[in-house]
């Protein structure tokens, strides 16, 4: 097993995250959901909301 951690694993080990990690985590969550459905329409909808998802992840993790 490699030492490379997924964005979700990185979030679990830090009290604060940067924007890139939040976006990467949001993409991982989108990938997991799209993988189940394979819907290109659903993918487009999620990508349009990517910034909002990242905002929510950042706010949740960086909350004091």
Token pair of 58 as six digits: 């950042």
Q: Greater confidence, 6 or 18?
A: 18
For 31-55, what is each residue's pLDDT tens digit? 988 887 778 889 999 999 999 999 9
Q: For residues 30 and 43, is the Cβ–Cβ distance under 8 A?
A: yes
Res 27: pLDDT: 93
The pLDDT-based confidence of 63 (bands split at 50, 70, 90) is confident
Q: What is the pTM of this model?
A: 0.74
């Amino acid at each position: 097993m490699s030492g490379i951690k997924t964005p979700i694993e990185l979030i679990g080990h830090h009290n604060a995250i940067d924007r890139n990690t939040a976006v990467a985590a949001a993409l991982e969550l989108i990938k997991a959901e799209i993988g189940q459905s394979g819907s290109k329409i659903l993918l487009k909808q999620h990508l349009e909301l990517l910034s909002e998802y990242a905002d929510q992840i950042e706010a949740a993790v960086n909350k004091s």
